[in-house]
Structure 1
Amino acid sequence: MRRAALLFYLPILISVVVISCTQHQDHSHHHAAATTADEQQFLPPQWAVNANIYEVNIRQYSPEGTFAAFTEDLPRLQEMGVRILWLMPIHPIGELNRKGTLGSYYSIRDYTAINPEFGDKGDFAELVETAHGLGMKVILDWVANHTAWDAVWTETNPEFYLTDEDGNFFPPVDDWEDVIQLDVNNRDMWEAMIQAMEYWVREYDIDGFRADVAYMVPLEFWITVRERLEQFKPMFMLAEAEEPELHQAFDMSYTWELAQTMRDFGAGSATLADLDAALENNFNRFHKRDFRMVFTTNHDENSWQGGDRDLYGDNFKNFAVFAATVWGMPLIYNGQESGLNQQLEFFEKDEIQWDEYKYQDFYTTLLDLNTRNQALFNGEIGGHFKKMATDKDQYIFAYKRIGHHEQVMTILNFSDEERSFTFKDGHEGSWTNVFDSSEMEISSQVTIGPNSYYLLERVYMSH
């Protein structure tokens, strides 16, 4: 545990815990409790406390599909309020058994090389340096479970792979036929993999990694990775997983169950009661200090499930507000600020249609609130969650985030009609509308338009 980071967190944690215990004991959902003092071995970097994350698909981001073209757009993303850039894999893609024309980003040939379609290492260095200069962090997507069939290691270190009874390589999953399974228990492979990860931190000053299918690789490996990488700088680690125990090595995990329920609601096969249950399960399984990534889409959901309108219809903005305020770190997938209503091809060139950035201001407002309002901060420092029951809960989903001196109230109408409702517990008071800065009085009865939201905030003093 880093002493400097602990000294930074300690005063904030003490003040939040004291206020929480004395003022808001009845307002919060109870999170899972730690079972041992050693469960959290690493603290998130200080800069991650109020960060958000933006996923970048270099291939589809621009007509050129290059680092240089993406770098030119960084000032716009900074203005939108983006804090963490998650770059999908940047490595050369396998040719043997390749899917489609361009192949999967997750079929890695060489862990220390650059996909020449994106540019060269100088272009990548410029991207990272520019992002850092604009106050953003950069994390790389890392595939530790498998490689391409024609990866460098298949020639130099075939012992790094599992083989069948005939001595042949094989895919980890039947329909992942463009990749082959590494022997994830081979300690020599661990060392080579960790050295490759260290290379990108040492040479390019990257700020962390998103671990592809992290749950398929032993936890001990990831703990070793974190120990080694922390020797360079504070790291931010995102696990593509939803196993609580992985938070022993990772800062953040996926809210897969919640995301599936959101999509099911969009498809008409789930209710708001199901959404509430998924959220409650989230609280029950994870400790409050665990960062959780909340998303409406990402590269997988978009390419295999559908565009934003396909998934959520007229409730897309409601779910975007939900993802930015409920509990966790919001993810934006590139293109959503223009309304990502296309289903991007995964193995072919299919550039994002940027149009007029119609949701740019919308996301800018959400990210600004998420960054500056302590009630929405990540982990233990963030405010408690309180569900607000109404007499129209089949249509209305309302809740507060209650921080030290700040509160956020979110009211979402998921129905296609204007709704008037009352809060069962009484939540009257004066608030500020986040989107237009107008004052809003919440009375005993509230009326809200179809498929719309109120996002409100206020500052209050504890007694």
Structure 2
Amino acid sequence: YCIKDYKKLNTRYGTKKDLKELVDAAHAKGMKVILDWVANHTSWDNAWVTEHPDWYTQDANGNVVQPQEQPWADVADLNFDNETMQQAMIDAMKYWVTEIGIDGYRCDYAEGVPDTFWKKAIAELRTLDNNLLMLAEGGKTSLMNNGFNLLYGWNFHSRLKDYYAGKCSLADLYAMNISESEGMPEGTLRLRYSTNHDQASEASPIECYGGERGAMSAFVLATMLEGIPLIYSSQEAAYPRSLNFFNYGVIDLKSNEAFAQEMAEIIRAYKATSSVRGGELEVYTTGDVASFYRAAGSHGMLVMVNTANESVQVKVPMEHAGKTMTDVIAGVDVKLPTVMTMEPYQYFIYQQ
């Protein structure tokens, strides 16, 4: 997050040729590649600091300063009142689209940068590619008025952690789901996740949710309830400890292939139920079992997640008991009982 040069690559990652080959290979698989863009501040050894000190926030003595509302002494705060700096920033953002063919940006600390800049920058970027994917790392719904497509679900994630820690109720979690969805412009969505870069630097999902099975149940709940699922690297390997994103660490992504495969199956279920994703949501609270139903015409999806580390007997929601639905994970049709036993952290995803 300390940018020395907005138009160069850290050689530890490789060359521009390497990046172009990576992007082209991803595109061949139908994937998009976005870069992390840190607009609010630069490193102290960025050439701008000496060449254009007026592009930075300064104190009364004319000294460039760090961001005033953050404890980030390792970076210099940019001055967005300076139009020349803004245009240089936009020019650098355009560079990677035109030179490498990237598909958009994840904009770091988006709330620290003025809305006026994002509106101008995104509008200019879309003249190059109207399909660019713009992700705001922030939680304020108002960010979406600047042209972003996606927004982080910070509050839902915090409430999810609190729920698994016994600090709030399932009803509180459902209420936060609704709250985060309110006011979102049409066609925009929030990321939903059980961990992210900041959370993983404090504790892994394994530590937060009661082990591997708890982490998987939290992932199912976050993925299937609302929004666009996010997977943070290391999560699919069930990495058991925190990760400092300022240091280099080695993770064997094949160390827990069964866990990774199960996550892949959940994503497959997410895609398979896309036809009902925008449908009407009905939630149920039955002890420690989170259940919710999505309806779209004659189609529907019922998800049931045991969030406790113990077996429970739970009533299937009355209006769905006796229905024949497809167990999406198992790939078989089942007639739903009136009451079922769910093992610790077990989950079911049904659709009709």
Instruction: Sort the TM-score into its range (normalised by shorter chain).
Output: over 0.9
- Which letter does structure 1 place at the counterpart of 2:237? S
What's the offset of the Cα at 1:404?
5.0
After TM superposition, which residue ranges in structure 1, 4 or more long, deviate above 4 angstroms? none
Helix, strand or coil at the partner of 2:256: coil
Alpha-carbon contact 2:204-2:240 (below 8 Å) kept: yes
What's the offset of the Cα at 1:424?
5.6
> Who is 2:219 aligned against?
320
What's the offset of the Cα at 1:402?
2.3
- Which letter does structure 1 place at the counterpart of 2:84? D
What's the offset of the Cα at 1:423?
4.7
What's the offset of the Cα at 1:272?
1.6
What's the offset of the Cα at 1:356?
3.3
Aligned residues: 345
> Who is 2:15 aligned against?
120
Which of 249, 252, 263 aligns to 1:353? It is 252
The structure showing larger relative contact order (alpha-carbon pairs under 8 Å, at least 6 residues apart) is 1
- Which letter does structure 2 place at the counterpart of 1:135? G
Alpha-carbon contact 1:374-1:403 (below 8 Å) kept: no
> Who is 2:137 aligned against?
240
Distance 1:174 1:256 in 2: 18
Alpha-carbon displacement from aligned partner over 1:313-348 (angstroms, at most 9, x marks no partner): 142111111122111000001122211212112222
What's the offset of the Cα at 1:403?
3.2
Distance 2:47 2:276 in 1: 44
Gaps of 5+ in 2: none
What's the offset of the Cα at 1:457?
1.6
> Who is 1:186 aligned against?
82
Distance 1:281 1:174 in 2: 27
Distance 2:244 2:340 in 1: 43
2:331 is the counterpart of 1:437: yes
What's the offset of the Cα at 1:206?
0.6
TM-score normalised per structure 1: 0.71
The correspondence of residues 60-459 of structure 1 with structure 2, limited to 5 A, is 106-172=1-67, 173-233=69-129, 234-248=131-145, 249-287=147-185, 289-303=187-201, 305-313=202-210, 314-354=213-253, 355-375=255-275, 382-387=278-283, 389-390=284-285, 393-404=286-297, 406-423=299-316, 425-428=318-321, 429-458=323-352
Range that drifts further, 153-162 or 110-119: 153-162
Cα gap change, 1:121 to 1:424, in 2 (>3 Å): closer
Alpha-carbon contact 2:177-2:226 (below 8 Å) kept: no
Distance 2:164 2:311 in 1: 19
Alpha-carbon contact 2:164-2:307 (below 8 Å) kept: no
Distance 1:110 1:384 in 2: 47
State the percentage of identical aligned residues. 32
Cα gap change, 1:201 to 1:328, in 2 (>3 Å): same
Alpha-carbon contact 1:262-1:275 (below 8 Å) kept: yes
Range that drifts further, 107-116 or 228-237: 228-237
Helix, strand or coil at the partner of 1:167: coil
- Which letter does structure 1 place at the counterpart of 2:204? G
Helix, strand or coil at the partner of 1:137: coil
Alpha-carbon displacement from aligned partner over 1:204-262 (angstroms, at most 9, x marks no partner): 11111111111111112111112111111111110011111111221110111100011
Helix, strand or coil at the partner of 1:253: strand
Query: In angstroms, what is the RMSD of aligned CA positions?
Result: 1.8
TM-score normalised per structure 2: 0.93
Cα gap change, 1:423 to 1:363, in 2 (>3 Å): closer
